[in-house]
Amino acid sequence: MQKIKLLSFALPVLLLLMSGKMIDHKNVLNADLIIGNWQPSDGRSVVNIYKGTGKNGEKTDKYYGKIVWLLEPNDPDGKPRTDKLNPEESKRSTPLKGLVIVRDLEFTGSGNELIWEEGSIYDPKNGSDYSFEAKMTKKNTNLLDGRGYIGISLIGRTDTWRRLVKK
């Protein structure tokens, strides 16, 4: 009789825990929808967004983006373009190709809301860092609205990035 009571209590608790894990698993799948190669609207670069590796200070539960392609990869002298406007002089010789520009983006969405927030984005065109958030719809997971801003999200600029799909 006591085993039946224990089972009647434990079974619902177990089912509840399992359903929570399924929801978490679903959110992980939603969170990873951002992974891939994205082209900003100006078409001058491609940014690969990936899940943190745990190396170089990257957190494995956050997303990062690095430049993997440039329309003009070399300067007029034929040398690879570098981060020449970086405020840190020691980083001005760093090649733009391979430069991590999106950092610490965190999935905060749930259900149909695909939102990543609390990140930052570096703009090598002016050497500035901005807060960064990104959104997409389940209707079209090949478009990403990224918003860079200072202070509050209302003061910023949104750019739509297009996913590059392998052919």
pLDDT for 154 equals 82
Residue 153: count of CB within 10 angstroms of its CB: 14
pLDDT at 151: 85
pLDDT in tens, 59-115: 999 999 999 999 999 999 999 999 999 999 999 999 999 999 999 999 998 877 899
Side-chain-facing half-sphere of 49: CA atoms under 13 Å: 29
Helix (H, G, I), strand (E, B) or coil at 114: strand
Tokens of 63: 């997303």
The answer to whether residues 38 and 163 touch, using CB atoms and an 8 Å cutoff, is yes
Q: From CA 67, how far away is CA 69, in angstroms rounded? A: 6
12-21, 88-97, 153-162 — which is least confidently predicted? 12-21
Q: Of all residues in the chain, what percent carry a pLDDT higher than 70?
A: 82
Full set of structural domains in the chain with CATH? 2-163 (2.40.128.520)
Encoded tokens for 87: 């405020």
63 forms bridges with which residues in the sheet?
51, 105
Vertex 161: Cα angle to 144 and 103 (nearest 5): 75
Pairing, β 45-51 against β 63-70 = antiparallel
Cβ count near 144 (within 10 Å): 25
Read off the pTM: 0.80
Exposed / middle / buried, residue 67 (Cβ in 10 Å: 0-12, 13-18, 19+): buried
